[in-house]
Structure 1
């Protein structure tokens, strides 16, 4: 079978690929090797798929359905493996292959996972129910990180992002938002209230229907830090609908309040991290040539 990566993945990876990166070109061969080594039967490549990995729906030698995921090193797939192993299936997709098999470690960047229902996410639920299920799933992931953790901290990740934000050329109104976001980050990092293992990129589309549990999180980019950082990305879910609504600004502020209260997170800290993450995403969208996405994100940030 030819393992051609979906165009959505090719376009997304092209935005962030370093010079000379050949991961996409080598992906078909790497997928064939991963399938052969595990004696998997391929059903199909998941399309349109994600923006940072190839997912192939497969069956194990005994017929059990599974999902084979391949991701480039810059998206930290080994950190994802470590986080999924630590969660052990509680609130998140279960690793099928988490340790060495017959003394051979798993291929770097290749994860074999339980099969969920990729076509059914929490986002398909009525809005009130979707928020409830998403918040409940996220709460289960917030556990103490393992001893000797290999994960990035919130300070480290946002530090790299802050450098890129400072170096970006932007109009005056965007520069003012960048200054506000950077100031919020400095204040938030001065006194973090707790340290937990976080999903890192949590939103409604990252919660899929399963058989073992009704809803399970997928695709973490794990990081260690305070819970408000993790919840901040969820606040701007369905941002297109928020921007299109005449009451979008008021709805956003109510959303911050309700999510903070439902998950016992300080409201002002959630607002601050939501501002930082929205501005960072908006500036990055400008940098890679996605002006429409940048416009939505920065307008949203302005409401905070």
Structure 2
């Protein structure tokens, strides 16, 4: 079978070239070969490539040698597949998709992304969920309730000696890129200044350090057979829970912007989520502001103008 990467993945990796990541192009060129080798090594039967799929990996529906359905996922180094593997191993299927294969020799334990020489360091074999049924299929109130329950299971103490990136480290890198964006575009400077000020205060006073999903939103929680809802696609990080919850606040942002009461709905959502997960409301608001502005500035930098405008307008409500 030809492992043709979906256009959504091709476009997303093309955006990474704006950040000088030539490795993404090289990985994309080798992807059919990498996928074929991973399938052969595990003696998998291929059903189909998921389309449109994700923005950071190739997802292939497969069957194991005993006939059980599974998912083969291949991701480039920039997507930190070693960290994803380490987090899934830590969760052990509790609240998240189950990892079916063991780490390869090239995987760094505890969250690192070592380079490995077996060509398999960016490959994960996962249990099969229902890829077309996410929390976005539920009404708003029910989806937020189920999302909160999933996050409660994921927020655990990180393993001793872990090598996961911290919230302070990740947002520090993002802050540098945001400042460059503001210097080049005066229109976004006031929001960037507010977001960076919020970030500085938040990282200086973090109340806890838990293992977080890192990119949690409704589309990242899929229906399963083993449990009703399970998280997929983490970009794990260690830090305070409010950081993880912040991305969920802006879910369905296009609907919020289109609503005449979008700002009021957003404020109610922040309060509801903070109360349901016992997170400080102002810390959640601050991280929601930072993450929305960071995403908006990044979208602007790579030419996704409409996405940028939605995110920055949303950030202005906070």
**TM > 0.5 between the two?**
yes
Aligned to 2:57: 53
Deviation at 1:139, TM superposition (A): 1.2
TM-score of the pair, normalised by structure 2: 0.93
For residue 44 of structure 2, what is the aligned residue in structure 1? 40
Q: Does residue 77 of structure 2 align to residue 77 of structure 1?
A: no
For residues 38 and 246 of structure 1, do their structure 2 counterparts lie closer, same or farther at Cα, with a shift above 3 Å needed? same
Secondary structure of the 1:167 match is helix
User: Tell me, what secondary structure is at the counterpart of 2:126?
Assistant: strand
The reply to whether residue 194 of structure 1 matches residue 214 of structure 2 is: no
Is the aligned partner of 1:65 residue 2:78?
no
Where does residue 279 of structure 1 map in the other structure?
293
* Aligned residue in 2 for 1:151: 164
**Partner residue, 1:185:** 199
CA distance in 1, matches of 2:127, 2:266: 35
TM-score normalised by structure 1 residue count = 0.97
Task: Find the counterpart in structure 1 of residue 7 from structure 2.
Answer: 7
Structure 1 pair 229/24, CA: closer, same or farther in 2 (3 Å)? Answer: same
The one-character-per-residue Cα deviations of 1:25-81 (angstroms, maximum 9, x if unpaired) are 100000000000000000000111000000000000000100000000011000000
Within 5 Å, give how 1:116-265 maps onto structure 2: 116-168=129-181, 169-265=183-279
Q: Offset of 1:109 from its aligned partner?
A: 0.4
Task: List runs of 5+ in structure 2 lacking aligned partners.
Answer: 106-116
Instruction: Quote the offset at 1:138 in angstroms.
Output: 1.0
Q: Cα–Cα, structure 1 residues 153 and 9, in superposed 2: closer, same or farther, change >3 Å?
A: same
Q: Is the 8 A contact 1:98 1:106 kept in 2?
A: no
Moved over 4 A (4+): none
**Cα deviation per residue 1:213-254 (whole Å; 9 max; x = unaligned)?**
000000000000000000000000000000000000011011
Shift of 1:171: 4.1
Say which SS state the counterpart of residue 69 (structure 1) adopts: strand
Unpaired stretches in structure 1, ≥5 consecutive residues: none
Structure 1 residue 174, shift from structure 2 partner = 1.2
Q: What is the deviation of 1:173?
A: 3.9
Contact 1:77 1:110 in 2 (8 A): yes
Aligned alpha-carbon RMSD (Å):
1.4
2:45–2:65 Cα contact (<8 Å) kept = yes
Alignment length (residue pairs)? 302
